Amino acid sequence: MKTITNFWNYFQQNNFVFLLLNEIPKEELKTHFDKLIEILHQYNKDLDLIIKNKTNGAEIIITANGNPYLFKEVELLVRHSQNIKRWKITAFLQPETNLTKYENGTDKPLEFYGITLRISEMYFIPSKNPNKPTDLGIKVLLKNYIIHKDNPRLREAVYVHIEHLIGEKSFANDISFIEIDQLEKHDLEDDAVLELYNLRVFIDGFKLNER
């Protein structure tokens, strides 16, 4: 409990720095952020955090990076959080609810270790395990797979995108296996190929049918 208390005490005492991200010098901000991460890792070295600034406040998200074995650690930390004015404290990456930018193709590319991907340009094909019909797998199709296929970080980059899209818990619990391949022109004419931004809706339907 001491490490949990230390984390929230530090965050409460310095929360204004993270609240005013755009007004604090980058070096000072980095110092505070590195310290916050250091204290978080004293509690659990495999947890991470994301800070999002909004017009009427900000949000700190505690994430297990999709590792279900750490979910209880995240829940415990958030359960013992303090009430901090103008801050929303969230356990896990939550599903993206506004899909309009993906439908319109106006979403910004996300960069991850030199790999640039846009969710609006990503597709998937659902697949099942014949031995376990309740297990859902997907093959993710990328426009630039050929360019990045030898990058050891490609799989991790795709996982991060999907986590942000459908939420951390769904990513861990609802998808059993993921393949990655090149998107070909003829794929877009195949009814089995679906836009990745519709994955959450597909999963909900899949789970409903399996009941």
Give yes or no: residues 123 and 47 share one domain: no
Question: Cα(3)–Cα(7) distance, rounded to whole angstroms?
Answer: 6
> What's the pTM value of the predicted model, to 2 decimals?
0.84
Tally Cβ neighbours within 10 Å of residue 195: 18
* Residue range(s) defining the domain that contains residue 35: 2-91
At residue 110, the pLDDT reads 86
Tally Cβ neighbours within 10 Å of residue 159: 18
**Number of domains comprising the chain:** 2
Give yes or no: residues 54 and 78 share one domain: yes
Structure tokens at 111: 């960069």
Give yes or no: residues 83 and 119 share one domain: no
- To the nearest whole number, what is the mean pLDDT of the chain? 92
At residue 211, the pLDDT reads 61
Give yes or no: residues 44 and 106 share one domain: no
At residue 139, the pLDDT reads 97
Using an 8 Å Cβ cutoff, are 88 and 58 in contact?
A: yes
Give yes or no: residues 152 and 195 share one domain: yes
Last residue of a domain, one of 66, 91, 116: 91
Q: Which residues of the chain have pLDDT under 50?
A: none
Using an 8 Å Cβ cutoff, are 77 and 48 in contact?
A: no
Give yes or no: residues 121 and 194 share one domain: yes
Q: What's at 35, amino acid-wise?
A: K
N- to C-terminal Cα distance for the chain? 40
φ, ψ at 135 (rounded to 5°): -85, 125
